[in-house]
Structure 1
């Protein structure tokens, strides 16, 4: 199996000596062996590192280098969210310890290291299976896992005190529009039409649940046989809110064969969800509705908003690259993807699925 880690990228190193001293003083399970650090290659926002000392392994998660957007990359909040969700949803990694910015120059937390397959733009079919059958199975596992998360009674967790479910969608729409304007670099046709439509067509939320809010294949981990979904990562955006907003985000990452090339590929390879057997977005919606009993008649709005939200996330990353706050050349053409997402969101707002 191909390694999911790489040597640490230039400018993203950690102080190994200070970290090793801190870990050995605060985590009893670590053996008296040298600390080895490598970096996970996936992800364009927060930085994640594999930590190894003898047979002990864990994951360190911290914000990107340089200035970050207000309220973004809140490591302490993500750590506390994982503390509350993990007992009810073991696909969420178990969090071990949180530290403020004094040690490494930024807040970080340490969590469980899960091992399995993360699927993104390639798929190895297990012996005896077909691409179609695996696509069907993975699609249903993604639906089932999202329904499972939304079924958790958040009133039994401290999330009821950490979040503000009332007025969730209004705050989301206002907040993401503000984030866009704060990180704006280029003039994009259709942006005013889109933001005005989002503000004037705000739906009434029927349910309130725990939501992941960045649920997608490459934030998920499967066992080797692709029969179980064993891990869900990147809980930074998780909160209590409208489950259809979570479904919309999942669908915004779920590409179909007939989507435009830039939408399907982003700025990388085409997603495996375009292969035979994987649900279409409409099939994903109907499978979710059947499994959860949720009214999905307004999903058209939530998908439009999700494309806009994804565009803003990419715009914030591109803004940091444009200002020289990150040197990662993967981000140099993100403005093209931002524009395409905005155009797609405009088209989505004009028609129902």
Structure 2
């Protein structure tokens, strides 16, 4: 691999300070130093999924396309698409200093209302930057009728988990009910742009000094679709202080902006409406629950640790419960497309 790094211009001389990074559940991350600069090698897990190598190739292409954009991201330094060379497709990127709030939060950030509010609003601003990327520059396929295919696509993935011995489709409650509501209430129009695909606090690096966003990481699920899906994901996983089932941050962050404030900030810059936001919140819960439940199925089959599988199953169950709750609220109240602004929301509310 040293010859490959040399050819790609990734430093020179010996490789030192090699450390395997923790915190991820899917891929291998190895931090190393070369020629006084810190890098990270990213490659698939030991027990690869069917699309693991393609996910690496896709992520490398997206990082390359983000070069020069306003979206904070790790700079791609080298990529190897042919898995025959090292056994996997892989890439090297710059190491970015910062903390992920799911793993640690510095004490002075926990004590600072200003820093916490900056974390929430910076995340939304990053979403605004992502949705502004021209999808044609990313090199990802653009699917016709993307929004119409979403529910069937993820419902099909859920059913496919049954190929893992010991797992059955009754593991998550409400899947069929949520799928039926989503199909019946699909927005008539949608927009096309870059979608991160897994946007939450665990995939954001924040400054240890002031809580500002330093990088959006983990782009392996990136695709071209409606950018509202990313907002839906962020809202679905957003920590709520009075709900013990949410495990969004390593330390309680009671001064984060409310979900309502985040929605207002996003809509004020994009012109989307509340009805569409709600639909995509429910789709995000549905989609993410199904993806996460795949790791539970793999754990039952002995391909992932039982501890990891159980933890992710609880997360998937919570997401599906959240989707069901939102659907029931919509069925009770009815839906009317309307703009939403900060002035229409209760101060400090978590919605």
TM interval, short-chain normalised? 0.7 to 0.9
> Does the aligned pair in 2 maintain the 1:118–1:220 contact within 8 Å?
yes
Aligned equivalents of 2:53, 2:186: Cα separation in 1: 24
Aligned equivalents of 1:218, 1:333: Cα separation in 2: 15
Partner of 1:4: none
Q: What TM-score does the superposition give when structure 2 sets the normalisation length?
A: 0.83
> Per-residue deviation at 1:53?
3.0
Partner of 2:340: none
Partner residue of 1:282 out of 257, 260, 279: 260
Partner of 1:179: 157
Partner residue of 1:38 out of 19, 29, 33: 19
After superposition, what is the alpha-carbon deviation per residue over 1:214-263, rounded to whole angstroms, capped at 9, x for unaligned?
Answer: 1222211122322531211011122222121111011111021233x23x
Partner of 1:253: 237
Partner residue of 2:178 out of 184, 194, 199: 194
> Does the aligned pair in 2 maintain the 1:37–1:50 contact within 8 Å?
yes
Aligned equivalents of 2:99, 2:220: Cα separation in 1: 21
Aligned equivalents of 2:5, 2:51: Cα separation in 1: 29
Alignment of 1:261-280 (within 5 A): 261-262=244-245, 264-265=246-247, 271=249, 275-280=253-258
> Per-residue deviation at 1:33?
1.4
Partner of 1:226: 210
Aligned equivalents of 1:289, 1:72: Cα separation in 2: 36
Aligned equivalents of 1:310, 1:277: Cα separation in 2: 26
Alignment of 1:108-257 (within 5 A): 108-120=90-102, 122-126=104-108, 130-155=111-136, 157-159=137-139, 162-184=140-162, 185-186=167-168, 187=170, 188-226=172-210, 228-257=212-241
Which stretch of the first structure deviates more once superposed, 235-244 or 326-335? 326-335
Aligned equivalents of 1:211, 1:191: Cα separation in 2: 23
Q: CA RMSD in A?
A: 2.5
Does residue 346 (structure 1) correspond to residue 296 (structure 2)? The answer is no
Aligned equivalents of 1:333, 1:216: Cα separation in 2: 17
Q: What TM-score does the superposition give when structure 1 sets the normalisation length?
A: 0.82
> Per-residue deviation at 1:291?
3.2
Report the secondary structure of 1:37's partner residue. Answer: strand
> Does the aligned pair in 2 maintain the 1:95–1:111 contact within 8 Å?
yes
Report the secondary structure of 2:290's partner residue. Answer: helix
Q: Which structure 1 residue ranges, 5 or more long, are not aligned?
A: 1-18
Aligned equivalents of 1:152, 1:273: Cα separation in 2: 33
> Does the aligned pair in 2 maintain the 1:255–1:273 contact within 8 Å?
no
Partner of 1:82: 63
> Per-residue deviation at 1:21?
4.1
> Per-residue deviation at 1:90?
5.0
After superposition, what is the alpha-carbon deviation per residue over 1:13-35, rounded to whole angstroms, capped at 9, x for unaligned?
Answer: xxxxxx334323x2334222145
Q: Which runs of 4+ in 1 moved over 4 A?
A: 69-73
Q: Number of matched residues?
A: 324
> Per-residue deviation at 1:132?
2.1
> Per-residue deviation at 1:306?
1.0
> Per-residue deviation at 1:345?
1.4
Aligned equivalents of 2:222, 2:155: Cα separation in 1: 19
Report the secondary structure of 1:59's partner residue. Answer: strand
